[in-house]
Amino acid sequence: MKNSERILTSGGMRRHEEMVGLPPIATGVAMQKLIHELEVHQIELEMQNVELRHARDEVESALRRFTDLYDFAPIGYFTLDSGGIIHSVNLRGASQVGLERSQLIKRQFGLLVSAAARPLFSDFLQKVFDRQGKEICEVPLTTKGDLPVFVHIEADALGDGQECRVAVVDISARKHAEKLLHEYEELNRKTLQALPAHIAVIDRQGRIVAVNHAWTEFARNNEAASSPMVAVGTN
């Protein structure tokens, strides 16, 4: 009876050891293998973290370069929505309109355009979003300076079609030069017309490029006003 109890007790002890998880002889080897795998996994995670940090540094560096190129570009850049509201602007763009960037965000770009040219700009912006392609216009801006600022604007809708990137180039010098040239040509024309002598202006090829009033009257009085031999364009 006692022997039987010892056997049962011994068997019960073995079952108890298995239930509570007491390691068998081979458990030490398995534990070392598990620890090794965990160490390898930890090394892999650390290597991945290093790679992620390196990738993050590259992205941040590229972002800084892009920001520098955007902010310090010689061209003004604005990002507008379909209503013409400014969402972003670079430093050059802010200087073109004479305002701080913080004063431009959430402001309507059309209000920066001179009142007479606002309908033209409104049509231009509508075409940008309707056609989803590049559009071009030239308008004067309202500034505090003595001379108006004329700008050449190119805009193209961005990928989602909800915003557009606007490039603004100051063409004031060209516009002022064109105005001066026009005024000079008008002065020459008026001077030429006021002279009493019969004058025809010709180019290097001998073509008549301009005639004055006296020349025209002389031709008319001599019944030659309709003759191509005395008209502008004749060689």
CATH number for the domain harbouring residue 161: 3.30.450.20
| Cα distance between residue 110 and residue 122, in whole Å | 7
Last residue of a domain, one of 48, 66, 84: 66
Asked if the structure places residue 97 within a domain, the reply is: yes
Asked if the structure places residue 164 within a domain, the reply is: yes
Asked if the structure places residue 233 within a domain, the reply is: no
Higher pLDDT, 39 or 138: 138
Residues 180 and 161 in one domain: no
Burial (CB count within 10 angstroms: exposed 0-12, middle 13-18, buried 19+), residue 118:
middle
Asked if the structure places residue 229 within a domain, the reply is: no
Q: What is the pTM of this model?
A: 0.57
Asked if the structure places residue 227 within a domain, the reply is: no
> Is the pLDDT reported for residue 224 higher than 70?
no
Residues 11 and 97 in one domain: no
Last residue of a domain, one of 13, 39, 66: 66
Residues 90 and 148 in one domain: yes
Residues 61 and 96 in one domain: no
Q: What is the mean pLDDT of residues 199-209?
A: 83
CA 24 from chain center: how many Å? 71
> Is the pLDDT reported for residue 96 higher than 80?
yes
> Is the pLDDT reported for residue 146 higher than 80?
no
Higher pLDDT, 179 or 232: 179
> Is the pLDDT reported for residue 35 higher than 60?
yes
Residues 188 and 157 in one domain: no
Residues 80 and 167 in one domain: yes
8-state DSSP, 109: G
Residues 190 and 136 in one domain: no
Residues 44 and 102 in one domain: no
Tokens representing 42 are 């930890």
HSE-CB of 177 using CA atoms within 13 angstroms: 4
Q: Do 219 and 231 meet the contact criterion of CB atoms below 8 Å apart?
A: no
Residues 115 and 29 in one domain: no
Q: Which residues, 6 or more positions from 174, have their beta carbon under 8 angstroms from its beta carbon?
A: 150
Residues 200 and 123 in one domain: no
Residues 161 and 192 in one domain: no
> Which segments within the chain are labelled E, that is strand?
76-81, 86-89, 135-141, 149-157, 163-170, 200-202, 208-211
- For 57, 87, 153, 172, the CA distances from 97, given in Å and listed in that order, are 35, 16, 13, 13
| Total domains present in the chain | 3
- Domain of residue 199: give its range: 176-221
